[in-house]
Amino acid sequence: MLIEDGKGSGRRVEVSRENMLRVYAQVESEISHVSEHDGKSYVWTATADWGADKNMIWLRNDEPDENLIIQVIHISPPTTTLIELWVGNGSTSGGTTVTGVNLNLGSGRVAQATCKHTNTNVDTGTGMTLLGTIRAGANVLTSINVLGSLILKYYDEFALNIITDIDATAVNLFGYFHVEG
């Protein structure tokens, strides 16, 4: 059996013997969709030799009308280390500026966020809450896949602190801006 769309477009959908519609879907992640259609997906990358109990990277959403959604965090330390994840607001923002790189190279949009590395340890900031501690293995890519569940509203902050002393390490934060609702 075939069902027409009812708008005169000539489009039809097939109904199986089990009374189910036969459809096809193209699925993409939200970060990919936002990158392609809005040009508001970014990566913030920092590499340094931080030492022990230092802030690796700190990110604040400066966009009043959109949420900054963190998709995934990548870390690849040369030695095994513990890393703390912090959320909140009111932390210090000293340190070296990290510029977000737009994942849609033709967009030209600039991330409305402040990002720093090697700033004052965020666990001393008021308003910050420890979200969790993870162990990152030596010489392997550790992915913290929050899958868009870490949402920073206007002036909310996210930070990673490295607990044990290691050599130079890179950290990448992938995220995108999205209007709530």
Beta-carbon neighbour count of residue 115 at 10 Å?
24
pLDDT, averaged across the chain: 88
Which region, left, alpha or beta, applies to residue 51 given φ > 0 means left and ψ of -120 to 50 means alpha?
left
Burial zone of 45 (CB within 10 Å; 0-12 exposed, 13-18 middle, 19+ buried): middle
Tell me the mean pLDDT in the region 79-103: 88
Whether pLDDT at 97 is above 90 = yes
Higher-confidence position of 14 and 60: 60
Least reliable range by pLDDT among 11-25, 74-88, 90-104, 164-178: 11-25
pLDDT of residue 169: 87
- Domain range annotation of the chain: 29-178
Cα dihedral across residues 142, 148, 153, 154: positive or negative: positive
- How far separated are the first and last CA of the chain, in Å rounded? 37
* Cα 148 from chain centre: 7
H/E element holding 37?
A: helix 30-37
Q: Are 128 and 122 in contact (CB under 8 A)?
A: yes
Order the strands of the 142-152 sheet from edge to edge: 101-102, 41-48, 169-178, 67-75, 142-152
Separation between Cα atoms, residue 113 and residue 63, nearest integer Å: 7
Output the CA torsion 80→81→85→90 (10° steps).
-150
Give residue 133's pLDDT band: very low, low, confident or very high (50, 70, 90).
Answer: very high
Whether pLDDT at 95 is above 90 = no
Residue 156 backbone phi and psi in degrees, to 5: -75, 155
